[in-house]
Amino acid sequence: MQVFAFHLMPYPALPEDFPQRYGPPWVKLPNTLYDPKVGEQVYEQALAEFAQADALGFDGVCVNEHHQTAYGTMPSPNLMAAALTRVTQRAKIAVLGNALPLRGNPLRVAEEIAMLDVLSHGRIISGFVRGIGAEYHSFGVNPAFSHDRFHEAHDLIVAAWTRPGPFRWDGRHYQFPYVNPWPRPVQTPHPPIWIPSQGSRETIRWAAERRYTYLQTFSPIEHVERYMRLYWQVCEEEFGYTPAFGQLGWAIPIFVGRTDEEARALAKPHIEYFYERLLVMPTEYFFPPGYLSPQSMAGVLQAKRGLTEGGAANSIDALIAAGRFVCGSAKTVFEKLAETSQRLRIGVLTGMFQFATLPHALAMENLLRFADEVKPRLEAINRD
C-alpha cells in the first residue's frame, strides 16, 4: 500500500462549553474565539508533523480545504502545499482537495496546482472536491449549481493542463477568451487526480470512468466496504478494466500506542471530541438544497440523517467498532488495516495521525510508532 499522512489543522483551544453557547463549530462559530497565537502553533506543529512523516518515509502528506470552521483551519490548501514543498524532500504532496465550486475562477486552481508541481519537482497530487454543505452557507455559493460547476471546472482545469494554449472556453458557468496558463505542470499529462468523497453512485461512476483514485473519507466501515466494492464493480462491469490498487483509497484517523489499553486511554478524549464536537452539524448545514441529487436528499430527510448523531455513537468503543477509528497496539492496528485493505483491495491509506485536540507530542509519537511498526508491513501488501 501507499501510506500517506493527513492533517486537518483543527483549532484545539475552543471553550469547553462552545457547543452549548454557540452551536456547531461551522459557519457561525464566532471568529473572535480564534487566537492567532494558538493558530501559529497549530501551523508550526502540523508542518513539523508533516516533516517528520516525510523523514519517516511516508509516501505522501495530505492537506485539504475548509472554510470558516474550527474543524480545519486551512482555507487554502494550496498555500499550505507551497509551504510543504519547502519542508518535505521526497513525499508526495496531496491537496485533497481544492473545492472547485467554491473557487470563483478555476483557472486559478489550474495555475496554482501547476505552480506547486513545478515548485515540488513533480510531487503534487491534485484532489478535487465540492466542499462540505456548510461551506455553501459560508461562501455564498449556490448549492443548486454545485454539481454542474464541479464538473465544468474539472473539465476546464484538465484542459488547461493538457491542451496547448491559448484556446477559448465557452462553458455554461465559465467563459474565457484565452486559456493559456503559465506555468504548465511537470507531471504528464498532469498531476494525478484524486476524488475524496463521502460516497455516492454518481461520484464513483464519474471517478471510475476517468481512473481517478477514489478516496472514502471518515466513514463507517460498512460504507467503506459498500463504496470500494461499487468502485471495483463499476470499473469492471461498466468500463471493462480492473482498477489498480492505487485507485482505491481510505481516509481514517489512526492511533498507535504501546498496548491496546494505552492507545485507547490516550486517544479517547481527542477522537471523541473530533466526532462528537467538530464533525457535527445539522442537516441544514450539511445538505443545503441542491447539494445532493433529489433522490439522495429525499432519503436523507426521511431518515433525518445528518451529522447530528451524538452521544453513544461517538464513544471510542463505538467508533472503533464501527470502523470509524483504528486504534490500538501496532499489532492490532496492522491487523485491522491489513484485513480491511486486503478484503477491499485498497491500495492507498491516508491516515490522520493528529485529530481534534490530540497534543503535538502524542501525534509525533503516533507517527513514529506507526512508521516503525505498522507501515513497513502495510507497504508489502496491495502494491501495483
Partner 1 sequence: MGAVHDNWLDIRGHRLHYLWAEGGTGTPVVFLHGAGGAGPWFDCLDRLSVERPVYYPEHPGFGASDLPDWLETVTDLALYYWDVFDRLGLERVNLIGASFGGWLAAELAVQQPQRVARLVLVDAVGVMPPTEDAPDFFMIPPDQVGRWVFAHPDRIPPAPPPDPAIAVKNRTTVARFAWHPRFYNPKLRHWLYRIQCPTLVVWGREDRLIPPAMAEPYLAGIPQAQLVLIDDAGHVPWREQPERFLSAVRSHLQGA
Nearer to partner 1, 141 or 378 (CB): 141
Which whole-number Å values give the CA distances from 2 to 101, 275, 377, in the listed order?
29, 26, 11
335 with 345: CB under 8 angstroms? Answer: no
Closest contact distance (angstroms) between CB of 178 and partner 1 is 26
Which whole-number Å values give the CA distances from 21 to 16, 24, 29, 34, 136, in the listed order?
10, 9, 9, 15, 23
Nearer to partner 1, 27 or 125 (CB): 27
Nearer to partner 1, 220 or 282 (CB): 282
Nearer to partner 1, 20 or 302 (CB): 302
Phi, psi of 66 (to 5 degrees): -140, 155
Nearer to partner 1, 79 or 301 (CB): 301
Closest contact distance (angstroms) between CB of 134 and partner 1 is 10
Nearer to partner 1, 76 or 283 (CB): 283
Closest contact distance (angstroms) between CB of 347 and partner 1 is 37
Using CB under 8 A, list all residues that contact partner 1.
136-137, 140-145, 282-285, 288-290, 294, 297-298, 301-302
Rg for the chain (alpha carbons), in Å?
Answer: 20
Phi, psi of 250 (to 5 degrees): -140, 120
Closest contact distance (angstroms) between CB of 233 and partner 1 is 28
Half-sphere exposure of 205 (CA within 13 A, CB side): 5
Closest contact distance (angstroms) between CB of 149 and partner 1 is 12
Separation between Cα atoms, residue 376 and residue 337, nearest integer Å: 13
Nearer to partner 1, 136 or 194 (CB): 136
Closest contact distance (angstroms) between CB of 170 and partner 1 is 15
DSSP 3-state assignment of 358? Answer: coil
Nearer to partner 1, 73 or 138 (CB): 138
What the block records as the C-alpha cell of 235 is 470499473
Closest contact distance (angstroms) between CB of 376 and partner 1 is 49
Closest contact distance (angstroms) between CB of 130 and partner 1 is 15
- Please, what is the Cα angle at 332 between 327 and 335, to 5 degrees? 115
Separation between Cα atoms, residue 202 and residue 197, nearest integer Å: 11
Strands in 70-225 per DSSP E: 92-99, 124-129, 167-170, 175-179, 193-197, 213-217
Q: How many other CB atoms are found less than 10 A from the CB of residue 55?
A: 14
142 with 148: CB under 8 angstroms? Answer: no
Q: How far apart are the first and last CA of the chain?
A: 8
250 with 345: CB under 8 angstroms? Answer: no
